[in-house]
Homo-oligomer: A and B are copies of this chain.
Amino acid sequence: MNPNTDAPLFEKVTLIGIGLIGSSMARSMRGKGLAAHIAVCTKSASSLEKARELGLGDSFTHDPVEAVAGADLVVLCTPLGAYERIAQKIGPALKPGAIVSDVGSVKQQAIEDILPHLTAGVHLVPGHPVAGTEHSGPEAGYAELFEGHWCILTPTVETDAGATEKVSELWRRMGSTVEVMDARHHDKVLAITSHLPHLIAYTIVGTATDLEDHMKGEVIKFSAGGFRDFTRIAASNPEMWRDVFLENKEAVLEMLQRFSEDLTALQRAIRWDEGETLFKMFERTRGIRRKVIEARQDKPDVKPEDAS
């Protein structure tokens, strides 16, 4: 699409929200020269100050209207619950032909929150980079976060194909493989691959938190037996995840219901000493792991300096 890879893809990109994902986009885009100007906008005073210290952008403001002035691309990188309020504010301030995108983990509700506030001639290309770590905030980001990962885009039937392609190219240049998908289908797939795992991890770590005092220290000490993997998932940004569950309620509750039925079946098998049932259930899950490894999705994301 853009044969001259030295020219920036966008003249001005505005990032609203500058946490793990926003700051990783800023670092990657700066490193690769993908935007001539990056405007950083966040309501948090400490995040804005941190972003400035880290040199994540060319301009910094708390005011989204100021931030989006003249922008070719605006990416919402806040928790999902803030989208509607932000869209209301920036809608009238966007320049004709501007593209609005986001990085949220729920896509149908994102469209419903943003689209009504955009004028004709502004293009919505919702996005979801399937990458992340347990850490939050501007200092947690790193330029390589998206490399080798999927980025799912969920344009609506009305979305301009050129706009979708431009956002696709941005993600490809940041190292991702792009998949275009229907928003509702995205929400169902992610409900099982991401939302339910997080809900369960939060739950079991919460269950351990409520244990009798004399056991708590030992839970930490002997966490290598499986528990520690759940603590990592359950350390993710609570505000972001609250919004994910509220905004993908239907799909999450559906998957949770299936999970609960399956867990009850296993519980029953344990209670009635049905070893053969347990063995068969444990045996078949190995095939899925093999496929995850074959798909090269088995390595956790780790910020380079945190790798041991």
Q: Which residues of A contact B (CB under 8 A)?
A: 81, 105, 130-132, 134, 149-150, 152, 179, 188-190, 192-211, 215, 218-236, 238-239, 241-243, 245-246, 249, 252-253, 255-256, 258-260, 262-263, 266-267, 270-271, 273, 275, 278-279, 281-292, 295, 297-301, 308
Contact = CB atoms under 8 A, between A and B. Distances in A.
A222 B193 contact: yes
18 contacts: A192-B204, A192-B215, A193-B219, A193-B227, A207-B259, A210-B258, A220-B297, A224-B301, A229-B229, A234-B288, A235-B289, A236-B282, A238-B282, A242-B279, A243-B275, A245-B270, A249-B271, A249-B273
Contacts of A215: 188-189, 192
A241 B205 contact: no
A236 to B, nearest CB: 8
Contacts of A288: 205, 208-209, 219-220, 231, 234
Given A220-B295, A258-B210, A253 B270 contact: yes
A83 to B, nearest CB: 15
Contact of A289 (B199, B221, B232): B232
Contacts of A239: 279
Main secondary structure of the interface of A (DSSP, over half): helix
A270 B298 contact: no
A199 B266 contact: yes
A242 B278 contact: yes
Copies in the complex: 2
Nearest to A300: B229
A260 B200 CA distance: 10
A33 B75 CA distance: 60
Q: Of residues A203, A232, A301, which shows the largest number of chain B Cβ atoms within 10 Å of its Cβ? A: A203
A219 B282 contact: no
B208 A279 contact: no
Contacts of A196: 204, 207
A308 to B, nearest CB: 6
Contact of A207 (B207, B249, B258): B258
Contacts of A149: 224
Nearest to A257: B267
B223 A193 contact: yes
Contacts of A236: 282
A262 B201 CA distance: 11
A274 to B, nearest CB: 9
A300 B190 CA distance: 25
A212 B245 CA distance: 22
A281 B206 contact: yes
